[in-house]
Chain A
Amino acid sequence: MLDRIGNTPLLRIERVGQEFPNVEFCAKAEWFNPGGSVKDRPALSMIQAGLASGALQRGKTIIDATSGNTGIAYAMIGAALGFPVQLCLPDSASHERKRILAALGAELVITAGDEGTDGAIRKVHEIVEQSPEKYFYPDQYSNPANWQSHYRTTANEIWQQTSSRITHFVAALGTSGTFVGTTRRLKDLNPAIRCVSLQPDASFHGLEGWKHMPTAIRPAIYDDALADENLEVSTEDAYQLVKRLAREEGLLVSPSAAAALLGCFKVAAGIPKTGHAVIVTVFADSASKYLNERFWDEE
């Protein structure tokens, strides 16, 4: 089953970007990964690196603070490889998420909701400090195996799937692993490829996995010299595009995926009408975990 991680389809977005007839928009459909998101790639890579270095051995428990897609990936891969998984997550995480993680056999340590992810990370540090010999803590914000997974896989897939025609790569910053790893490899393959990173337009936003760098802790693996440009995207604009992608393309994607495409449109707006571009982005996951959100019912 873990062999099925990666090699996701590259989808051509046909209709919603029609106002840019000179631009081809393509997106990696990352929900085709067995755990349902792009996070299968770094999670597997960090676990494999841990096994290779000896940091992860039989008898140890994989521990991290995440209630998002990385947690689901750890829980799935841990179950498949026979390692126990312990996840610290804030009480504010949705009931549905807790059910998915628990169904995959992960042990959940619930921390105070109002302390958010910070509280969950503090809890992981506390648990690991008490008995470091019992745990493997991948720490996706600092682990180079995170970005290396995209360097080895995502970028090369994009290069092959576009027959090396890609002109622009656009991706959001969260841990920054997707952007950093894919950009480094694409620039090796063709330094002329323009790489644009995306952020939410405010510290308080609804784009899962995205980081507003000015107000967040800068991940150790982030390299701010890599991006040719950095653009901002609004949550509400992404919600509108989620609905259009569903109704006009038949693509039921997450708000963060739609936000990535919005970033592509912003890039396309700066391309001369006489030019041609192939803009590629990453659709991190599908809408399946976000169907309970209010925006579906709002105008």
Chain B
Amino acid sequence: MPVKVMIPSPLRPYAGKRDSAEFNARTVGEALGHLTTEFGDLRKHLFTEDGKLRSFVNVYVNDEDIRYLAKENTPTKDGDTISIIPSIAGGVPTMELAS
């Protein structure tokens, strides 16, 4: 059951410049596990050393914040989209805009 993980611009340099990746996963945690296995450099940006999602990393399934669902155990189904968004509202333009 493929789910699509959207990779935000600041993380793309650690994910082979990809903007998304698809994995077969039953939960959000599984999908993020596959993502950080395929792109090992992403792990330290998303997870703490003891494997917890870093405090400023917000994850959404479709438009729902997993904090208000079942966190990393939130089930996923075919065609779901997972978004990874740092909790900064203002944001700054990235190199991608320049190119």
Contacts and interface: CB of A to CB of B under 8 A. Distances in A.
Nearest to A71: B90
B97 A206 contact: no
Interface stretch (B21-29, B30-38, B80-88): B80-88
Looking at chain B's contact residues, the main secondary structure is mixed
Interface string A226-250: 0000000001100100000000000
Given A114-B8, A204-B10, A294-B55, 17 more contacts: A67-B91, A97-B89, A114-B83, A174-B90, A204-B8, A204-B45, A204-B86, A206-B55, A210-B92, A211-B92, A215-B10, A215-B13, A216-B92, A216-B93, A217-B95, A217-B97, A293-B56
Given A68-B89, A90-B91, A202 B45 contact: yes
Nearest to A70: B90
A40 to B, nearest CB: 14
Given A92-B83, A203-B10, A204-B45, A118 B90 contact: no
B88 A207 contact: yes
A132 interface: no
Contacts, number: 113
Given A113-B83, A116-B9, A235 B90 contact: no
A90 to B, nearest CB: 7
B54 A114 contact: no
Contacts of A209: 88, 90, 92
Given A92-B83, A204-B86, A217 B94 contact: yes
